[in-house]
Amino acid sequence: MTLSLERITDTLPVGFAELEADAKADGHDHLTRLAAEFAQRPDIFHAIFACHLDGRLAGIGAITDEPGLTSQPTWRMRRLYVHRKFRRRNVARAIANALLQEAVWNVSTVTVHAGNGDAARFWEAIGFRPVTGCAWSHETTTSGAAIGV
């Protein structure tokens, strides 16, 4: 099993349509939003990483400015999705860690909105803590995140 990361800059990766179809079948439309945002406003993304497992697109994730009100510059993890066939193989962790590496020299806080209990458990496992009363569900400091784990 070989994981490889690809930084996305100009075009979405080969296999994105299949990943988007899997997300839709799994009840998620955020990859459709990612494609639209990337086509219309690619400059909102500080980074997008795709993860390949044995040469096949297994997942993707992005990081942008936190759209909610914050007292300091803050970035948000967005649009993280792993194909159902490739879950539990460290794909999400690899993407999240690559995105956190992008944030570490730029902001001290990174947020995420966990869409369900499984997502919340994942984010907590890599160092995010639950918060209330915010436009996001979890946050971490870049010094406290499980970068490289």
What CATH number does the domain containing 125 carry?
3.40.630.30
Rounded to an integer, the average pLDDT of 106-114 is: 93
Kindly provide the residue ranges of all beta strands, DSSP E only, lying in 8-149, ordered along the sequence: 45-53, 56-65, 74-82, 109-112, 129-130, 138-141
Q: Is the residue at 58 inside a domain?
A: yes
Strand arrangement, sheet containing 138-141: 3-7, 45-53, 56-65, 74-82, 109-112, 138-141, 129-130
pLDDT at 149: 42
- Kindly report the backbone phi and psi dihedral angles of residue 113, in degrees, each rounded to the nearest multiple of 5, phi listed first: -110, 105
**Domain housing 115:** 3-141
**pLDDT confidence band for 131 (50 / 70 / 90):** very high
Mean pLDDT of 81-106: 93
Identify whether 148 is part of a domain: no
**Band (70; pLDDT cuts 50, 70, 90):** confident
Under the banding of pLDDT at 50, 70 and 90, the label for residue 68 is: confident
Q: Supply the pTM of this predicted model.
A: 0.91
- Between CA 108 and CA 121, with CA 63 as vertex, the angle to 5 degrees is 80
Q: How far apart are CA 109 and CA 76, in angstroms?
A: 9
Residue 149 inside a domain? The answer is no
Q: How far apart are the C-alpha atoms of 43 and 109, rounded to whole Å?
A: 20
Report the number of distinct structural domains present in the chain: 1
Q: What pLDDT, on the 0 to 100 scale, is given for residue 51?
A: 97
Question: What would the two tokens of residue 122 be?
Answer: 């994942």
147 occurs within a structural domain: no
pLDDT tens digit sequence for 3-55? 899 999 999 999 999 999 999 999 999 999 999 999 999 999 999 999 999 88
> How many angstroms from the chain centroid is the CA of residue 76?
8
Q: What is the pLDDT of residue 144?
A: 53
Summarize the confidence of residues 133-144 as an average pLDDT.
Answer: 86
